Amino acid sequence: MRADGFRPPTADSGVPTPSTCRTAPTVDGPRPCHPTEGIRPMSSHADHTTVIVGAGPAGLTAALGLARYRHPVIVVDSPRAPRNSASTGVHGHIGMDGVTPAEFRERAWRELSRYTTVERLEDDADSVSSAPGGGFRVALGGGETVEARTVLIATGVVDVHPADVDGFAECWGRSVIHCPFCLGEENAGRRWATVADNAELAGLSAVAFRAWSEDTIAICQESMPGLETARATARSRRGDVVTGTVRRLHHREGSLYGIELADGRVLERQTLVWTPRQRQQPVVQRAAEELKLTVDDAGFVGVDASQCTSVPGLYAAGDLTSRWKQSVTASTAAGAAVADAIHMSALLGVVHH
């Protein structure tokens, strides 16, 4: 035991370790179990076990930080494809610029495999609720539960693709991008368009995107107030604002070459910036309702500087907390902040709020 009272898990401590995990059969044969059958409650108030729901940049970074502090961690890693799986690469993150999302995750798990206090549990989390003895209970898709003193929700969000735009899914993450910071450089020098939901944004976007393209237009509805002002702003920098509704994206294997509007016009464009509507993952929606989490008008989970939610001991990090900080770098920074906060909370013997 360390001076701060923290005891790393051992084979007889009741906390799953590599030596105590069973093997569960899958369609691909046996795989290490972390654990999936008859999960028993963790002795969480003694050993400070943390469950991390979500294995994206925020969750994986938090797991690494907690592992460095030698805290026992269970990472619930959904078998579903991650949100950025269609992207051609992760960008703007030092040491990882240009790697594919799959390679990013592979590297992260390879690094985490060095730490005996980190367990990977491949399953979906259905709910996060208060545990009768204090702390939290995480219900898994297979019907089992895990209890822990602290929980980090880092599931990301769901992009809701427009159902009435043919070709959107095929181009998404390639020539249809949600932000210029993430994939703008890879689309530089092409003819750009953006879909804007208000006239002011349309005018500003047509100007701002000139950092990547000398030929930019914004597409918005004709009924929007301020349209002429936005058009004048765009044209002052050799951009333009076009009115209409996008109905079809013409492409060759995901490479955009034309945007068809509802009236039949086709705009010759190679890149489209479109930030679709977003919603929370079902587990986040349920947790927000059951635990009365503070959320903003758009449904994003409210957190403090240490990423703690309005419920002590429950943290949130990554895209589910903000529409405007959705990058790998921002998510990893948030995950690191959570690890520090949980460690300090354990040292002080209190749950941070």
CATH number at residue 325: 3.50.50.60
Q: Which residue has the tokens 């992009």?
A: 159
Last residue of a domain, one of 250, 275, 300: 275
Number of helices and strands in the chain (H, E):
9, 20
The answer to the question of residue 14 being in a domain is no
- Structurally, the chain folds into a number of domains equal to 2
pLDDT per residue, tens digit, the chain (353 aa), is 433 343 444 444 443 333 333 333 333 333 333 333 333 444 333 345 999 999 999 999 999 999 999 999 999 999 999 888 888 889 989 999 999 999 999 999 999 999 999 999 999 999 999 999 899 999 999 999 999 999 999 999 999 999 999 999 999 999 999 989 889 999 999 999 999 988 888 888 888 999 999 999 999 988 889 999 999 999 988 899 999 999 999 999 999 999 999 999 999 999 999 999 999 999 999 999 999 999 999 999 999 999 999 999 999 999 999 988 899 999 999 999 999 999 999 988 865 44
144 and 63, same structural domain?
yes
Q: Are residues 263 and 201 in the same domain?
A: yes
What is the rounded CA–CA span in Å between residue 353 and residue 331? 20
Instruction: Sort 72 into a burial class: Cβ within 10 Å, 0-12 / 13-18 / 19+.
Output: buried
Q: Are residues 183 and 269 in the same domain?
A: yes
Q: Which domain holds residue 176?
A: 162-275
- Asked if the structure places residue 6 within a domain, the reply is no
Give this prediction's pTM: 0.83
Confidence at residue 198, expressed as pLDDT on a 0 to 100 scale:
87
- Are both 206 and 229 inside the same structural domain? yes
Write out the E strands in 164-321.
176-177, 192-195, 216-220, 240-243, 246-252, 255-261, 266-267, 271-273, 277-280, 314-316
Give pLDDT, residue 317: 98
Strand partners of residue 130:
136
Distance in angstroms (rounded) separating the CA atoms of residues 90 and 202: 27
| Domain assignment present for 75 | yes
Residue 8 belongs to some domain of the structure? no
Beta strands at 192-195 and 176-177: parallel, antiparallel or unpaired: unpaired
Tell me, yes or no, whether 282 and 267 share the same domain: no
CA distances (Å), origin 194, targets 124, 184, 293? 34, 12, 34
Instruction: Clarify whether residues 283 and 145 are in a common domain.
Output: yes
Distance CA 93, CA 198 (A): 31
Closest by CA to 174, choosing from 251, 277, 95, 276, is: 251
